Amino acid sequence: MSERSMPGRSRHMALRAPERVLVIRLSAIGDVVRTLPAVIALRRALPDAHLAWLVEEGAAEALAGHPDIDTLWIIPRRRWRDGLRSWRTAPATLRDMIAFARRLRAARFDWVVDFHGILKSGLWAMATGAPLRAGYEAGGNRGWGSREGNRLFTNRRAAVPMRRISRFDRNAILARFVWTELLGRDASTCPVAPGGSLLPVASSVQAEIDRWLEATAPEASGGDPPSGGYVAVHPGSSESTAYKRWFPERYGDVADALIERGFRVIFTWGPGEKASVESIVSAMMHPALIAPETPSLQHLGAIFRRCRLLIGNDTGPMHIAALSGTPVVAVFGPTDAIENAPYAGVPSIVVRKDVGCRCPKRRCLTRACFEAVDAKDVLDAALGILGEPSGAGLCSASRAAGERRTHE
């Protein structure tokens, strides 16, 4: 029977706090890290429980070593996917999957809290054998409740409102549901995640990035440290989400203007994006740093921790920066700026122009929403967070670079 969340105290008899809890959010990187504040709140609500997380390998590294997570159960999705493609390897792959499910069931979780809300997360929730499986009701704003029949695998469910909410708020609804409906506590005392840095970075990883900065930055800046500090720029996105990318040359204009104002700019990049970043930097009027390859998400977070600001698109790295405690300026195009808003625990500004377009995102042809965002819009937002006067516009070098590109 469905259990719907209600404001205030629970309508139902409070349950005994569980000894072993599994949270599920399988992918993707941006969605996994956006679940972290809710899971930290869950940890505050259940301080004595063993708290585990079921996650796919692509996003697991962002959670590695987190002090609020006792165990990571990592699904080798790529290996299983490749193994199932051939009849020669499929039987062994199926045996491996069944063995994983048996180990998960043998862990004897009391509760499962499914933040993902899709078919495969529901199947994994059922595979645990946990007597209580909490998730979302179906529906909500544009399907932000459970989907794909997930509700068939849960027996306690939180309702999601019809209005547009951020994914952080969606996750918080389920954490509050545990506090009020399952534990019977007052909503006004519900634990929340603290602001600032929530993502861990191993000391060895931070030391590696710090050594790179010490070796690279003085040479790139003529031996003088930047007076304004470091600003990171992440102009890319995954290959499948190219529609999220603002214009590379405009990132270059913003970076030039910041450098003229005494900041040192570090361009970060992901798989397949280095050539694009090199092209941006080579067209700039002032030298900028290009980050080294980041073999893990913690390396990326370590760079962001040394920066006063990240400027980038609506991507996973933007959320990693915010959850690392670094303020962000996020340039949005066709994606929803409410649903995908940065973490509220750090200062942020979303730069987006409503041009009345209702394009299907991935098949956007005009890019009118990005065309409407010029470099000055982003520069002013960055300077606002950095506490610097915006001035009359872009600096002279940036204007010259823009004029050069226009005439070529």
Domain residue limits, the chain: 20-189, 203-407
Q: Do the domains 203-407 and 20-189 match in fold?
A: yes
Token pair 């399952």 in the structure block, residue? 182
Given this model, what pLDDT does residue 261 score? 95
Q: Kindly report the CATH number that applies to the domain delimited by 203-407.
A: 3.40.50.2000
Taking residue 324's Cβ as centre, other Cβ atoms within 10 Å add up to 28
pLDDT digits (tens, 9 = 90+) for 198-211: 998 999 999 999 99
Which uninterrupted H or E stretch holds 191? none
Taking residue 101's Cβ as centre, other Cβ atoms within 10 Å add up to 16
Please work out, in degrees rounded to the nearest 5, the angle formed at the alpha carbon of residue 74 by the alpha carbons of 239 and 320. Answer: 50
Given this model, what pLDDT does residue 29 score? 92
Q: What is the pTM of this model?
A: 0.88
Residues lower than pLDDT 70 in the chain: 1-13, 140-143, 218-226, 359-365, 391-408
Cβ(371)–Cβ(359) below 8 Å: no
Q: Please give the class, per CATH, of domain 20-189.
A: alpha beta
Bridge partners for 112 per DSSP: 22, 133
What residues have CB less than 8 Å from 329, skipping those under 6 apart? Answer: 309, 310, 311, 312, 348, 349, 351, 378, 381, 382, 385
pLDDT digits (tens, 9 = 90+) for 287-345: 999 999 999 999 999 999 999 999 999 999 999 999 999 999 999 999 999 999 999 99
Which uninterrupted H or E stretch holds 69? none
Cβ(265)–Cβ(259) below 8 Å: yes
* Dihedral over alpha carbons 105, 28, 35, 379 (to 10 degrees): 170
64 SS3 class = coil
Cβ(381)–Cβ(347) below 8 Å: no
